[in-house]
């Protein structure tokens, strides 16, 4: 049996994307080696422990400066020997040296259809703009905030009467399908980072794959 891709997950909150990734791991070709959070009270840490996954908190306030915290975070991640580092609601901006350390094997999921609405409060911004659709994007992480090469997206409609809460819940449901699929592509060797671009099945992605293009086995047609 082929070995599974070891994955490290960074999170700051409830850990719903961690749960989705963990649930898909047995058939996705990867295993979650450990979870690290910047917040000791993050519910995602307890969710990880309940699944028997090593979970650690590294509060930034316990370190003299950002560089020291980043060094401790990198040491904790490296001890897990991951082939991929996954940001799953990790709310701290990572420093350029940290990002460079894991270049090409660092993924993030962002709750918008990038390049629209990088940063925070995406659901509110979509509602204020009157957009007809919203969604989520998985991308490789670079030192540009939410600006790394996009890999795949899931779209959801914005419905009449939507609030930030209802729209957020709909997007999260899409995230929980999208993220495990993309991690599975990486684990299978289908997804790669080359020359600053995302490649899938041996071709550079000119546009992100759309979730509706994925089949139930995790396959995908390239976006046009």
Count Cβ neighbours within 10 Å for each residue of 36-73 and write b for 16 or more, e otherwise.
bbbbeebebbebbeebebebbebeeeeeeeeeebbebb
Sheet holding 133-140, edge to edge: 54-57, 30-37, 5-11, 84-87, 106-110, 133-140, 150-157, 209-210
pLDDT at site 211: 85
Q: Are 86 and 107 in contact (CB under 8 A)?
A: yes
The pLDDT confidence band at residue 176, using thresholds 50, 70 and 90, is very high
The mean per-residue pLDDT over the stretch 167-190 comes to 98
Give the span between the Cα atoms of 11 and 8, in whole angstroms.
10
Say what percent of the chain tops pLDDT 90. 93
Express each pLDDT in 129-163 by its tens digit: 999 999 999 999 999 999 999 999 999 999 999 99
Give the span between the Cα atoms of 2 and 181, in whole angstroms.
19
Residue 110 annotated to the active site: yes
Express each pLDDT in 71-89 by its tens digit: 999 999 999 999 999 999 9
Q: Are 171 and 123 in contact (CB under 8 A)?
A: yes
Q: Spot the catalytic one: 110, 123, 139, 176.
A: 110
CATH superfamily, region 5-213: Formyl transferase, N-terminal domain (3.40.50.170)
Higher pLDDT, 196 or 224: 196
Helix and strand element counts for the chain (H, E): 6, 11
Express each pLDDT in 35-65 by its tens digit: 999 999 999 999 999 999 999 999 999 999 9
């Amino acid at each position: 049996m082929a070995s599974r891709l070891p994955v490290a997950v960074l999170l700051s909150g409830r850990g719903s994307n961690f749960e989705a990734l963990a649930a898909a791991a047995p058939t996705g070709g990867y295993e979650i080696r450990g979870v690290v959070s910047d917040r000791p009270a993050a519910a995602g840490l307890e969710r990880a422990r309940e699944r028997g996954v090593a979970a650690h908190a590294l509060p930034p306030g316990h370190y003299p400066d950002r560089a020291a915290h980043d060094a401790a975070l990198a040491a904790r991640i490296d001890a897990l020997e991951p082939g991929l580092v996954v940001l799953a609601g990790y709310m701290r901006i990572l420093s350029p040296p940290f990002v460079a350390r894991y270049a090409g094997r660092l993924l993030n999921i962002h709750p918008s259809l990038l390049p629209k609405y990088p940063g925070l409060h995406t659901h509110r911004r979509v509602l204020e703009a009157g957009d007809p659709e919203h969604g989520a994007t998985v991308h490789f992480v670079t030192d540009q905030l939410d600006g790394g090469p996009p890999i795949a997206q899931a779209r959801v409609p914005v419905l009449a009467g939507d609030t930030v809460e209802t729209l957020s819940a709909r997007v999260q449901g899409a995230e929980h399908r999208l993220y495990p699929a993309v991690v599975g592509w990486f684990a299978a060797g289908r997804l790669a980072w080359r020359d600053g671009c995302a490649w899938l099945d041996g071709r550079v992605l000119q546009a992100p794959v759309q979730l509706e293009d994925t089949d139930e086995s995790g396959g995908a047609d390239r976006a046009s």
